[in-house]
C-alpha cells in the first residue's frame, strides 16, 4: 500500500516555524489553519493591546508615585519649615491650606479622574466604579472646602482682607466649578429620574470640565506656592535668606510646584489617550444610562 504524501503546512503559513511541520506531526490541515489564524490575530490585535495596557500601567504607576511625592513634599514643607499645624486662627492654621488643597484638589481629584481608565475596572459591573469615582471626588471636595476654611479662618482671625489676590480669585472659581461639576454629575448620572437628553448633553461637558478643573487647580497651586514663598522668604525676617538667594525652603517649594505640574501632565496624558478609554456599549446601546439603571 502506498503511503500518503507528507505535505507540509507551508500552504497556510510560510513564516512561522510551524510551516516546517508535517501534517501527521501537528494535526489535520484544518486544525493547523485555525491555529495559525489564531496566532495571526494574536499578533495583529492582542500584542498592540497588551503593549497599550503595559504603557497605561507605566503611566498610572507614575501618576501614583508623583501624587504621593506631592503629598509628602507639601506635608514636609509645612511641618518642617512652617512650624507644623493647629486650628486656632494662627499661621499654623494656614499651614493646613496648602496640604488640604494639594491633597484634595490635585492628588485625590487627579486619581479620581483617571479611575475609569484602569482596565481592571472595565468588568461588567460599572456601578461600583461609578460610586467609587463619586466617593473619591466627594472626599476631594470635602478636603478642599476644609482647606479654604483654614485660610479664611486665618485671615479673619488676623484681620487680613479676603479674596484680594489673583491666586484667591482663580482658587475660589476652581472650587466653585468643582462643586458645580460634582452636583451636576450626581444629578445627571446618579439619579434615575434625570432625563436622557440631559445626560447625553452632560457627558462631554463633564469630561471637558473635569480636565479643565484639574488645570485650574494646578494654576491655583503654582500661584499659591509662589505667593507663599514671596511672603515667607523676605530678607532679614526670621533669619531666612530671601527667595532670590534660593534657600533650601525655596528649593522645596519650587520642587513641589514642579511635581504638581508633572502629576497634572501625566493625568492629562492618561485622560487624552483614546486607547485607554473605557469601552462604551456599541451602536444603539450607546446611550448614557443613569448610574442606578446600569449594571444593577
Ligand atoms: C487648588 C488649590 C488651591 C486653591 C483652590 C486655593 C484657594 C485659595 C483661596 C480662595 C484663597 C483666599 C482666602 C481668603 O481670601 O481668605 C487662598 C489664599 C491663599 N493661598 Fe491658596 N489655594 C490653593 C492652593 C494653595 C497652595 C498650594 C498654596 C501654597 C502655599 C496656597 C497659598 C495661599 C496663600 C499664601 C493665600 C493667602 C493670600 C491670598 O489670599 O492670596 N494656596 N487660596
pLDDT confidence band for 26 (50 / 70 / 90): low
Burial 60-85 (b: 16+ CB within 10 A, else e): bebbeebbebbbebbbebbeebbeee
In angstroms, rounded to a whole number, what is the distance separating the alpha carbons of residues 205 and 184? 10
pLDDT tens, position by position, 194-249: 899 999 999 999 999 999 999 999 999 999 999 999 999 987 666 778 999 999 99
Distance (Å) from CA 168 to ligand 1 centroid: 5
Distance (Å) from CA 74 to ligand 1 centroid: 14
pLDDT of residue 120: 82
Indicate the top mutation candidate among 74, 97, 162 to test ligand 1's pocket, ranked by most ligand atoms within 8 A of CB: 97
Name the residue ranges covered by the structural domains of the chain: 62-293
pTM, two decimal places:
0.84
- Which residue do the cell numbers 503654582 mark? 222
Cα end-to-end span (Å), the chain: 67
Domain 62-293 fold: 1.20.120
| Atom of ligand 1 minimally distant from the CA of 162 | 15
In angstroms, rounded to a whole number, what is the distance separating the alpha carbons of residues 32 and 189? 49
Is pLDDT larger for residue 238 or for residue 48?
A: 48
User: Could you tell me the three cell numbers for 105?
Assistant: 484638589
Burial class of 33 by CB neighbour count within 10 A (0 to 12, 13 to 18, 19+):
middle
Indicate the top mutation candidate among 94, 101, 179 to test ligand 1's pocket, ranked by most ligand atoms within 8 A of CB: 101
Residue 290 has pLDDT above 80, yes or no: no
Phi, psi angle pair for 8, to nearest 5°: -95, 175
Closest CA to 208 of 181, 190, 168: 181
User: Is there a contact between 181 and 138 (Cβ–Cβ < 8 Å)?
Assistant: no
Nearest CA to ligand 1 atom 20: 224
Amino acid at each position: 500500500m502506498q503511503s500518503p504524501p507528507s505535505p507540509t503546512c507551508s500552504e497556510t503559513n510560510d513564516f512561522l516555524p510551524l510551516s516546517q511541520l508535517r501534517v501527521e506531526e501537528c494535526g489535520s490541515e484544518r486544525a493547523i489553519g485555525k491555529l495559525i489564524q489564531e496566532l495571526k490575530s494574536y499578533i495583529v490585535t492582542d500584542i498592540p493591546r497588551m503593549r497599550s495596557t503595559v504603557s497605561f500601567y507605566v503611566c498610572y504607576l507614575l501618576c501614583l508615585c508623583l501624587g504621593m511625592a506631592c503629598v509628602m513634599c507639601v506635608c514636609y514643607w509645612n511641618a518642617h519649615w512652617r512650624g507644623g499645624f493647629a486650628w486656632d486662627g494662627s499661621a499654623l492654621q494656614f499651614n493646613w491650606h496648602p496640604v488640604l488643597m494639594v491633597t484634595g484638589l490635585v492628588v485625590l481629584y487627579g486619581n479620581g479622574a483617571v479611575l475609569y481608565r484602569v482596565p481592571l475596572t472595565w468588568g461588567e459591573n460599572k456601578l461600583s466604579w461609578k460610586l467609587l469615582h463619586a466617593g473619591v471626588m466627594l472626599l476631594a471636595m470635602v478636603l478642599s472646602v476644609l482647606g479654604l476654611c483654614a485660610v479664611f479662618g486665618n485671615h479673619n482671625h488676623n484681620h487680613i482682607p479676603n479674596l484680594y489676590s489673583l491666586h484667591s480669585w482663580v482658587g475660589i472659581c476652581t472650587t466653585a466649578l468643582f462643586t458645580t461639576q460634582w452636583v451636576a454629575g450626581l444629578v445627571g448620572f446618579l439619579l434615575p429620574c434625570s432625563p436622557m437628553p440631559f445626560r447625553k448633553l452632560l457627558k462631554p461637558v463633564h469630561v471637558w470640565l473635569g480636565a479643565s478643573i484639574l488645570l485650574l487647580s494646578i494654576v491655583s497651586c503654582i500661584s499659591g506656592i509662589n505667593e507663599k514663598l514671596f511672603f515667607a522668604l523676605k530678607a532679614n525676617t526670621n533669619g531666612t535668606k530671601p527667595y532670590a538667594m534660593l534657600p533650601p525652603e525655596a528649593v522645596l517649594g519650587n520642587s513641589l510646584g514642579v511635581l504638581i505640574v508633572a502629576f497634572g501632565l501625566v493625568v492629562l496624558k492618561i485622560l487624552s489617550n483614546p486607547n485607554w478609554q473605557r469601552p462604551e456599549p456599541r451602536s444603539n446601546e450607546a446611550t448614557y444610562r443613569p448610574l442606578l439603571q446600569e449594571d444593577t
